[in-house]
């Protein structure tokens, strides 16, 4: 392992002092700029928690109610703050409870450092109490993991963990520390953050020839189309991206994780891609002549059938991860590199343009979608409320400035489609893994990562019941999170598929729920339930103005479907409006 010779804070090199492994770990976290840890103590990580007792003035530890809640909170923190989320858990079930969140963070490129306790080194492999082989369990769902059995390894292991987690394509790292290493004393010579690992190249070398070829394709295009993903946000390249879009005059559409990189209302922002995305971006993907993909990985929910996806188009693919280029969609010109670096190079070579007629075509498709779907969803005449009208009313109060954290299901697609987002890092959701139960703990973490912003969790009645124990975390910390439960008394997305593709054979999707307002009240959280449209504006206003967290349950129509929709196995051009 190779490390830098200077620390982040550039202190004078410390004389060697005797510390325990636990103390060295916490010292490393402070030097790395960590201010918040989400965790749950247990036997195998107890020495670290004992040391943390003396560091509580420098490190804010949030006691969650379940390790899955801890890692989702760490994800929410990382996504709003742009920093590395840090999570503590004990061995055995504590460590295995992190696996879902690790998989979620891995596929959504979220930087985390998870520290797990482990049994004493001499007990490894003996099936000791609460021993699991966490390294082999988590290898497929981490960017890197490592087991520490000697305290001397801790500083360099932690330095490497943070460097790998935050650089290149970000991701989760897990460091498993045996109990003997936590309590062992050693000669600690200070902490040196890592800035280089010989075998790891976080950024591929930018090839100017490919930039030139990409610009030539774009400049000659009659119907160019930009599709962007979270890579723009992860690379802090929002301004560079906006400059490229505006100079080129090319219409641009987003994946759900890319939402907010440019404001919803930007004239060249033509909407969302994918299975429940907007009509124009999906249909016109198969009519463009040059497709410029930036910081996205051509997920199947975006492409539909690959053998019918954009076959007419030349493809320019900008990505920091070479493994994603040509993985699903063959590129004509691959542009490897960090888009914060490659976009300005490309912008310098593209012509000023407006593509007026091409943009007009997107607007015409938007009008078709509005007439067929959006108007009814946002302005319903039926007695029961729709999810869309709740989001519409919420936009009035937030002015597009809030952080919106969604769970997984129909409400997620509706919120992503209709929420106004004027700022980056505003749309926090589980994209690639689709983890129900994500939103409540992620919203808690998101608020700690962006304390100056309103954070609103939009959750279905099914997903909420998966992690509702984290209301206890809200109660204990006093964190201010607004919670909207859109309750249709169904596992709505599964029910929609059963209606459309299984002849309304509703198999185990009718879900009963407790009195959510009473549950919130038991945790000292104010709440309200409404089922009448006339009460919606005042209830939302009450929620937003409440000092502290608030739970608003909105009863919505039971069998409303999310459209447009690209049926599984179909081309994006076969998107249905009804």
Greatest Cα pair distance, the chain, in angstroms, is 74
531 Cβ contact partners less than 8 Å away, ≥ 6 residues apart: 384, 385, 554, 555
Please identify which of the residues 106, 143, 153, 179 carries the catalytic annotation.
179
Q: Active site includes 130?
A: yes
Tell me how far CA of residue 237 lies from CA of 258, 295, 339, 475, in angstroms: 12, 10, 7, 37
Phi, psi of 289, rounded to the nearest 5 degrees: -100, -25
DSSP assigned state of 370: I
DSSP bridge pairs for 318: 294, 335
Tell me how far CA of residue 36 lies from CA of 63, 69, 109, 169, 177, in angstroms: 11, 15, 20, 23, 20
Q: Active site includes 545?
A: no
Tokens, residue 12? 């004078």
How far apart CA 86 and CA 523 sit, in angstroms, is 26
Residue entry with tokens 């691959």: 334
Task: Tell me the pairing of strands 526-530 and 314-319.
Answer: unpaired
Q: Where are the alpha helices (DSSP H) in 405-460?
A: 410-418, 439-449
**Region of residue 282 (phi > 0: left; psi between -120 and 50: alpha; otherwise: beta):** alpha
Q: Active site includes 179?
A: yes
Please identify which of the residues 1, 130, 213, 529 carries the catalytic annotation.
130
Q: Active site includes 493?
A: yes
Please identify which of the residues 32, 38, 67, 242 carries the catalytic annotation.
67
Please identify which of the residues 493, 498, 550, 553 carries the catalytic annotation.
493
Q: Active site includes 162?
A: no
Chain-centroid distance of CA 101 in Å reads 11
Provide the annotated active-site residues.
67, 129-130, 179, 493
């Amino acid at each position: 392992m190779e490390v830098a010779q200077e620390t982040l804070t550039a202190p004078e090199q410390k004389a060697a002092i005797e510390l325990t492994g636990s103390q060295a770990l916490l010292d490393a976290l402070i030097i790395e700029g960590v201010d918040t840890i989400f965790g749950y103590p247990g036997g195998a990580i107890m020495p670290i928690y004992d040391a943390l007792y003396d560091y509580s003035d420098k490190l804010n530890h949030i006691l969650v109610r379940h390790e899955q809640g801890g890692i989702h909170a760490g994800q929410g923190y990382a996504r709003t703050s742009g920093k590395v989320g840090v999570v503590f858990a004990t061995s055995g079930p504590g460590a295995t409870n992190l696996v879902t969140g690790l998989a979620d963070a891995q596929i959504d490129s979220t930087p985390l450092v998870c520290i797990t306790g482990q049994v004493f080194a001499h007990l490894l492999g003996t099936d000791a109490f609460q021993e699991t082989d966490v390294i082999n369990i988590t290898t497929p769902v981490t960017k890197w993991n490592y087991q520490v059995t000697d305290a001397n390894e801790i500083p360099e292991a932690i330095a490497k963990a943070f460097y790998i987690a935050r650089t290149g394509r970000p991701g989760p790292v897990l460091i498993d520390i045996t109990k003997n290493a936590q309590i062992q004393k050693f000669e600690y010579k200070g902490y040196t953050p890592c800035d280089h690992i010989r075998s790891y190249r976080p950024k591929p070398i930018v090839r100017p020839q490919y930039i030139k070829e990409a610009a030539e394709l774009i400049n000659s295009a009659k119907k160019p189309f930009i599709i962007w993903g979270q890579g723009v946000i992860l690379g802090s390249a929002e301004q560079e991206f906006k400059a490229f879009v505006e100079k080129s005059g090319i219409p641009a559409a987003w994946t759900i994780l890319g939402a907010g990189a440019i404001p919803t209302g930007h004239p060249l922002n033509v909407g969302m891609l994918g299975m429940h995305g907007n009509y124009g971006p999906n249909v016109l993907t198969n009519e463009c002549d040059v497709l410029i993909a930036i910081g996205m990985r051509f997920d199947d929910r975006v492409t539909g059938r690959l053998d019918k996806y954009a076959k007419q188009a030349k493809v320019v693919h900008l990505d920091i991860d070479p493994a994603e280029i040509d993985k699903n969609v063959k590129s004509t010109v691959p542009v490897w590199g960090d888009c914060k670096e490659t976009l300005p190079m490309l912008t310098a070579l593209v012509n000023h343009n407006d593509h007026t007629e091409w943009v007009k075509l997107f607007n015409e498709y938007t009008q078709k979608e509005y007439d067929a779907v959006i108007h009814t969803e946002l302005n319903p005449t039926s007695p029961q409320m729709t999810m869309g009208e709740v989001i519409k009313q919420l936009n009035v109060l937030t002015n597009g400035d809030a952080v919106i954290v969604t769970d997984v299901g129909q409400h997620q697609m509706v919120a992503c489609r209709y929420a106004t987002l004027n700022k980056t890092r505003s749309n926090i959701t589980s994209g690639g893994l689709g983890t129900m139960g994500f939103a409540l703990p992620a919203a808690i973490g998101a608020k700690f990562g962006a304390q100056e912003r309103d954070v609103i969790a939009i959750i279905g009645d099914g997903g909420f019941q998966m992690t509702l124990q984290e209301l206890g975390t809200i109660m204990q910390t006093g964190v201010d999170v607004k919670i909207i439960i859109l309750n249709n008394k169904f596992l709505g997305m599964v029910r929609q598929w059963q209606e459309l593709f299984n002849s309304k054979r509703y198999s185990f999707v009718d879900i009963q729920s407790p009195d959510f307002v009473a549950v919130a009240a038991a945790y000292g959280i104010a709440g309200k339930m409404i089922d009448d449209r006339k009460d919606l504006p005042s209830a939302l206003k009450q929620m937003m103005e409440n000092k502290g967290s608030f739970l608003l349950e909105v009863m919505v129509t039971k069998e409303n479907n999310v459209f447009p929709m690209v049926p599984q196995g179909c081309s994006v051009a076969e998107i249905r409006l009804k």
